[in-house]
Chains A and B, each alone.
Chain A
């Protein structure tokens, strides 16, 4: 029942920005659904195959900002063939035909062609922000089109994309009249860059707050650029190599002192450790530091740097910091909220690696820690139990023991109890990744305690279908489940088929599910796409249903089987 005119309700809705809340609001009644849909400006689509672009436009005609995700998460680890899908072009085509005034596009794991970038750049007059994360399929030609045609571009953010670099002077395609840039992230580009064009671009962008350079930008060019942008808040350096006795280096030191606003620092894609003292003066202001792409910085230099960073809230680093280094982080960075420790040598044994000791130290020293990604050589139950006691605030806990089925090296027991302690203690846990030797027991704990869990990643774990069933039955808020190399089969898969419509997606690879099981699941379920990825023709569609399925990806959808599935993807 509405006692207020629609305009008032719409005004109130303007204060509700989270997708979840807006979704909830739209379910209250028809009238609220209508008001909400006409006023929603930011739309988030977690799976681009869950709905068609026309469907999105029909429901949200006033949308200005679109976020789209394509390939399943395990595509990051080469488990999904290249041309699986997640293609952007049809979306741009549909939006271009409509009257939607698109201003922002954020994409993750999608295939983006130069044609789609060009069409995008020419179709939306007010286009302001393009963010591409882990995408592929485009070259600097596509970027040139965006630079040349998007007159009011504020944000061009390229994160970890595979970009074909044609070495054209695409940066020069930004017209002289383009002065609106706020954020420019070029870190993933591999080719040469026209340095003077870049410098001029920075010089005419007074609002530039975030700038991340590529490897091709040397230290002396960095100095010139920083002279033009002392107002930067977020800086990613390119190559940080120079003779510390040289003029250029001394100039840089002086210039950096002028950059009093820098709070976030990254890059150092190439680095001469002796040059690092230039950045010590700004360390005390840093809240975010990403050195995870700087293998050239060794333990001691890392520690020297971090000792200056007392305000750090986010730290991404390589494991060459070692347990001792993490101890220094624990005693220095009391405001730390997010920590990611990546392996510098993923396949070696690694003297430089970290162990459970480092994690325990961090948990003891950093009370605000809530987000963790930790690649380590080993982990013990005792350590995990201690971490759980010290830190009950985890919302994201991802642990990766480099040897995937390693037990507790002290007791030789599985790590069930350790992870059990984590889920029991961290009542707000939303994302969890497991590793190490694990039995069904850990899943019993997860099903019992992880009430807020939305995403779970499982590899080489469990003994039987019971494991998967504990999770499916217990985790009411589960949205994404991804499993590889675990002995879960048809019984678990088929126990509660309705569950999958409450989730975004399920990935199972190298498990025990059979073709027959997948077919049964797909039967009479128009709201689910059950896709089998059949590489190398390992499965003959007409043959035995008892055949194990190598890779299965299922997701809920409003639009049935997708029409762009390649030959090797079967929708059952």
Chain B
């Protein structure tokens, strides 16, 4: 077994920069020693190294050591880590699927509301799906310029015009979509 070898001048300590997963000490002892010694050396800004040198060696070796290799760092309870991580999986959580019917179409479709960031995207997707055009939305007149109007059934069972409420609220209250056509559609718009 080699004894206490110093690594003062071993700047190209490639082993230490190697990204690997493992507990400290699971490698052969000399690798471990190396990693620790090198980390030690990089930690101590000796009088004749410039700031640049310290920064460089820190960013080359200490950064990967800090972020990729260290078990148990930062010292956060695993329970807390595991609980907060689901923040990512919430994006993967089950979508909000609603049925979409179109007056005159032989069968219904289903879409995932979570996929869309807002009304423009949703309406565009519906237009593509059913091959029709939706008119221009305005609060006063609903969807003008087309014989179609997108509507939805809300939690209370009422049929509402798509677009009146904020998107988030729509997402949580929409039970199903129906694209109305013809005179019915015009009726909702309060136009003549």
User: Which residues of A are interface residues toward B (Cβ below 8 A)?
Assistant: 74, 76-79, 134, 160-162, 188, 242-246, 269, 272, 274, 292-293, 295-296, 342-344, 346-347, 375, 400, 402-405, 407, 412-414, 433, 437, 439, 457, 459-460, 463, 484-485, 487, 509-510, 512, 535-536, 538, 544, 546-548, 550-551
The 10 closest A-B pairs by CB, nearest first: A550-B25, A77-B72, A510-B24, A160-B79, A76-B77, A79-B72, A243-B172, A403-B66, A77-B75, A405-B43
Of the listed stretches B10-18, B26-34, B108-116, B124-132, name the one at the interface; the rest are far from the partner chain: B26-34
Using C-beta atoms within 8 Å of the partner chain, give the interface range for chain B: 35 or more
A548 touches B29 (CB 8 A): yes
A-B interface contact total, Cβ < 8 Å: 119
In the complex, chain B residues whose CB is within 8 Å of the CB of A437: 43
User: Which residues of B are interface residues toward A (Cβ below 8 A)?
Assistant: 1, 23-26, 29, 32-33, 36, 39-40, 42-45, 51, 54, 58, 62-63, 66-67, 70-81, 83-84, 87, 155, 165, 168-169, 172-173
User: Given A161-B79, A293-B84, A485-B24, A347–B54 Cβ distance below 8 Å?
Assistant: no
User: Nearest residue in B to A512 (C-beta to C-beta)?
Assistant: B36
Select A459's contact among B23, B43, B73, beta carbons within 8 Å. Answer: B73
Select A487's contact among B40, B71, B77, B165, beta carbons within 8 Å. Answer: B40
B32 touches A77 (CB 8 A): no
User: Nearest residue in A to B24 (C-beta to C-beta)?
Assistant: A510
B1 touches A544 (CB 8 A): yes
A407 touches B45 (CB 8 A): yes
User: Nearest residue in A to B73 (C-beta to C-beta)?
Assistant: A404
User: Given A161-B79, A243-B172, A487-B40, A550–B24 Cβ distance below 8 Å?
Assistant: yes
Per the bound structure, the CA–CA distance linking A433 and B75 in Å amounts to: 10
In the complex, chain B residues whose CB is within 8 Å of the CB of A295: 84, 87
B40 touches A346 (CB 8 A): no
User: Given A375-B74, A459-B75, A548–B84 Cβ distance below 8 Å?
Assistant: no
User: Given A403-B66, A405-B62, A551–B25 Cβ distance below 8 Å?
Assistant: yes
Per the bound structure, the CA–CA distance linking A343 and B73 in Å amounts to: 12
Per the bound structure, the CA–CA distance linking A243 and B167 in Å amounts to: 11
In the complex, chain A residues whose CB is within 8 Å of the CB of B83: 269, 293
CB of A46, distance to nearest CB on chain B (Å): 19
Select B74's contact among A242, A292, A402, A463, beta carbons within 8 Å. Answer: A402
Select B36's contact among A242, A272, A414, A485, beta carbons within 8 Å. Answer: A485
Per the bound structure, the CA–CA distance linking A244 and B172 in Å amounts to: 11
User: Given A403-B66, A404-B66, A74–B25 Cβ distance below 8 Å?
Assistant: no
Contacts A160-B77, A342-B76, A405-B58 known; list 19 others, CB within 8 Å. A74-B72, A76-B78, A160-B80, A243-B169, A243-B172, A269-B83, A293-B80, A375-B76, A404-B66, A404-B74, A412-B45, A439-B44, A463-B44, A484-B72, A509-B24, A509-B25, A510-B25, A535-B26, A538-B26
30 A-B pairs with CB atoms under 8 Å apart are A76-B75, A77-B73, A79-B72, A160-B77, A245-B165, A246-B173, A274-B168, A295-B84, A295-B87, A296-B87, A347-B67, A400-B75, A403-B62, A404-B70, A405-B39, A405-B43, A407-B54, A413-B45, A463-B40, A484-B24, A485-B24, A509-B24, A510-B24, A538-B26, A544-B1, A548-B29, A548-B32, A550-B23, A550-B25, A551-B25
